[in-house]
Structure 1
Amino acid sequence: MARGRSADYQLNRETIVRTATRLFAQQGYPGTSMSDLARECGISKPLLYHYVSDKYELLREITESHVTRLESLVGEVESLGLAPAPRLRELIRRFVHEYAQARHDHGVLTQDVKFLEAKDRNRVLRKERAVVAAFAATIAQARPELAKAALDKPLTMLLFGMINWMFTWLSPEGRLRHDDMAPIVADLFLGGLGAVNPPPVTSAASVKAPV
């Protein structure tokens, strides 16, 4: 009879996935070996293979789980029944907050999705396109004249340019937090520089300024 999994199997496996996510984000997928992962987790390679079959399995799981979560955020916001402009603000708020909680996941999705096999990469990219389409549809509803000029998708990509790369320069230990930046991104996108309101100076005054 095959031996059953221990009660803490899923917890141990999740620890391995989280560690792999951090290593892939910091070193890149090609630059991270299973030996690196085993050493970082404090376990042997044979034990590591008890939890995951190979490095590729981890990459596929990390990227697809992250983009699936982003799809879920879109669904949650759409279920609120908000008008287009408030809906866009809420989408921005939730995405910025999610990226703050999943900085490494987003880094892996951004830099390492190209290492997925075609069928897996296409599945992830379809989910990404669905997220982009939801933002574009909201922008089109907020400003129909821009949609008629075929600007809804380009404006969406400009917006994601602000959101997606925040993890590369906004320090978690800095004065500004992601939750401070979310309304600033929305203000800037919807109203231009003159519409930006600074966050309260007490938000995190005791920590270092962002890089």
Structure 2
Amino acid sequence: MARTIAKDHREKRGHILKTAATVFASEGVARASMNHVARECGISKANIYHYYESKDALLYDILETYLSALRSRICELPLDGLSAGEKLHRIVSEVLLAYEGMDNEHKIQTEGIPLLAPEQQTVLRGYQRDMVRLLSEVLNDLAPDVFAGNQEKLRSATMSVFGMLNWFYMWNSGANETERREYSDLVARLTLNGVKGL
């Protein structure tokens, strides 16, 4: 007979994901152990294996949960009827707002994704590519003559915008909503008009 799922399964799973993300971010994914995660969660090692059969399964669930939600939040923004400039402002603002409280999940992407199975990497990188593609399309709409089919130049510009947003995340993780909106406005205006536009 199959084991029934406890009523608080979802809550416990969420607690494990957040705690494991903290452990992985502080210890490094490769060095962190399921024993450490279980200890920080306040549960037994046997109990954590009830939820996840391996560290890789746990890592994948952390990143898939985070990136799929981030992808949905950014790529499903209601942008119809907005100018390209307004779309840019909306996207960069939403990215910074979405990063709030997700420092650990964001941090472990770089180390964590290459450690996963190729098919899992494909799923996660697909979420990332969708967000990059959306911003690229907006930047191309802003200055089609500048990029003129030069995909490398467009990619460089796109990743530069994400780089500015990730800089803020790295050095201002405790920023509140107002500070995030103010910085996202600066990034959008800098992208649109250069330094003189600030």
Compute the TM-score of the two structures, normalised by the length of structure 2.
0.89
Amino acid aligned to 1:50: H
Question: Counterpart of 2:100?
Answer: 100
Moved more, 110-119 or 165-174: 165-174
Q: Secondary structure at the match of 1:35?
A: helix
Look up the SS of the partner of 2:81 in the other structure.
coil
C-alpha distance in 2, partners of 1:8/1:180? 39
Cα shift readout 1:27-54 (whole Å, capped 9, x = no counterpart): 2111210011011011111111112211
Supply the distance in 1 between the matched residues of 2:78 and 2:144 (Cα, whole angstroms). Answer: 18
Following superposition, the deviation at residue 22 of structure 1 comes to 1.4
Corresponding residue number in structure 2 for 1:188: 190
Runs of 4+ in 1 over 6 A off after TM superposition: none
Does residue 172 of structure 1 match 2:174?
yes
Gaps in structure 1 of 5+ consecutive residues? 197-211
Residue in structure 2 matched with residue 69 of structure 1 by the alignment: 69
CA distance in 1 between partners of 2:2 and 2:175 (Å): 48
Could you tell me which residue of structure 2 aligns to residue 205 of structure 1?
none
Distance 1:126 1:76 in 2: 15
Cα distance, 1:194 vs. partner? 2.8
Q: Is there any run of 5+ residues in structure 2 with no aligned partner, and where? A: none
The count of residues paired between Structure 1 and Structure 2 equals 195
Q: CA deviation at 1:165?
A: 3.4
Cα distance between partner residues in 2 of 1:139 and 1:72: 20
Distance 1:62 1:165 in 2: 22
CA distance in 1 between partners of 2:44 and 2:175 (Å): 33
Structure with more contact order per residue of length (Cα contacts < 8 Å, sep ≥ 6): 2
The residue number in structure 1 matching 2:162 is 160
Give the match for residue 90 of structure 2: 90
Write the distance in 1 (CA, Å) between the matches of 2:87 and 2:175.
29
Alpha-carbon distance between aligned partners in 2 of 1:72 and 1:123, rounded to the nearest angstrom: 14
Q: Over aligned residues, Cα RMSD in angstroms?
A: 2.0
Q: Which amino acid aligns with 1:104?
A: N
Within-5 A mapping of 1:92-171: 92-148=92-148, 150=150, 151-171=153-173
* Structure with greater helix share of residues: 2
